[in-house]
């Protein structure tokens, strides 16, 4: 039986299937691909992030015609939502739906108060990120973004993770535009005004907004996982009804 493709795009932390622990089982119902964004590799050294390269990775996963059809759903978290939206703007014909979890789409809401406040807090840190060590940047990033402390990296992979974080481009620099005509769900954790502001903006442009507990990772909660699965199932049913 033909399975619709679902492409999962991670944020700035864990990547591949490790970024989606609650969604592994969706491979039973969908052709699920858990992507690795540009510069994320378990073996290679981290690289400077690249919005266009990430967009190309998403589009490549959607346009794999060797499986008999092109296109699919895209589920993206945090900074991964940037490349997901860019891909949908460039090739809306390939994107059945967008699910954006705590999307770091700050360039869309640059003039709104929570976004402007977040940028004023974080921009001075990003301005000096190439002058800081990986651990120092990670510690200060977590303190400013999440009002939390983080232990220093103690393993090779943790040190790579700290470097990847430092090499991420500021999200407010992303060339984002609204995606016309693509069904969109925004899932937030209800904990941070920044993400609620972005969700509100997207809701005004036609997106559906839902909230589930879980902080910056609401998709890890039972309720958040249920919301994602239900939304994809609903979109798939509507598309099947229109096609038949």
90-100 pLDDT tens trace: 999 999 999 99
Q: How far apart are CA 155 and CA 172, in angstroms?
A: 31
Inside any domain, residue 168: no
Inside any domain, residue 58: yes
Residue 225 has which token pair?
């996982």
Return the pLDDT at 244: 60
Per-residue pLDDT band for 68 (boundaries 50, 70, 90) equals low
Least confident span in 30-39, 188-197, 234-243: 234-243
**Structure confidence by residue, pLDDT tens digits, 6-55:** 999 999 989 999 999 999 999 999 999 999 999 998 889 999 999 999 99
Return the pLDDT at 242: 75
Inside any domain, residue 80: yes
Per-residue pLDDT band for 103 (boundaries 50, 70, 90) equals very high
pTM of the predicted structure, to 2 decimals? 0.95
Domain with 51 in it: what CATH number? 3.40.50.1820
Residue 182 scores a pLDDT above 80? yes
Q: What is the CA radius of gyration of the chain?
A: 17
Inter-axis angle of helices 113-127 and 193-204, nearest 10: 120
Inside any domain, residue 201: yes
Inside any domain, residue 221: yes
Per the structure, the count of domains in the chain is: 1
Per-residue pLDDT band for 65 (boundaries 50, 70, 90) equals low
Inside any domain, residue 181: yes
Return the pLDDT at 205: 94
DSSP β-bridge partners for residue 95 = 72
Inside any domain, residue 128: no
- Percentage of the chain beyond pLDDT 70 is 97
User: What is the span of the domain harbouring residue 65?
Assistant: 5-109+174-243
Return the pLDDT at 66: 60
**Structure confidence by residue, pLDDT tens digits, 158-171:** 999 999 999 999 99
Residue 1 scores a pLDDT above 70? no
Residue 67 scores a pLDDT above 70? no
Inside any domain, residue 140: no
Cβ atoms of 193 and 75 closer than 8 Å: no
Cβ atoms of 51 and 86 closer than 8 Å: yes
Cβ atoms of 8 and 99 closer than 8 Å: no
């Amino acid at each position: 039986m033909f399975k619709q493709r679902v492409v999962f795009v991670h944020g700035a932390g864990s990547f591949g299937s490790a970024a989606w622990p609650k969604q592994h089982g969706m491979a039973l119902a969908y052709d699920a691909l858990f992507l690795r964004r540009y510069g994320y590799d378990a073996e290679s050294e981290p690289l400077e992030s690249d919005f266009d390269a990430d967009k190309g990775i998403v589009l490549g996963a959607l346009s794999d015609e060797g499986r008999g059809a092109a296109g699919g759903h895209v589920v993206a978290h945090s900074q991964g939502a940037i490349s997901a939206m860019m891909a949908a703007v460039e090739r809306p014909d390939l994107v059945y739906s967008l699910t954006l979890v705590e999307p770091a789409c700050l360039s869309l809401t640059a003039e709104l108060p929570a976004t402007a406040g977040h940028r004023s807090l974080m921009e001075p840190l990003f301005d000096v990120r190439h002058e800081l060590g990986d651990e120092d940047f990670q510690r200060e990033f977590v303190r400013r973004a999440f009002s939390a402390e983080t232990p220093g990296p103690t393993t090779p992979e943790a040190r790579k993770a700290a470097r990847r974080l430092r090499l991420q481009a500021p999200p407010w620099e992303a060339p984002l535009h609204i995606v016309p005509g693509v069904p969109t769900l925004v899932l937030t954790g209800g904990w941070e005004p920044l993400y609620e502001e972005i969700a509100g903006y997207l809701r005004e442009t036609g997106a559906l907004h839902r909230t589930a507990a879980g902080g910056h990772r609401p998709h890890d909660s039972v309720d958040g996982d249920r919301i994602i699965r239900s939304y994809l199932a609903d979109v798939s049913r509507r598309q099947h009804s229109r096609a038949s």
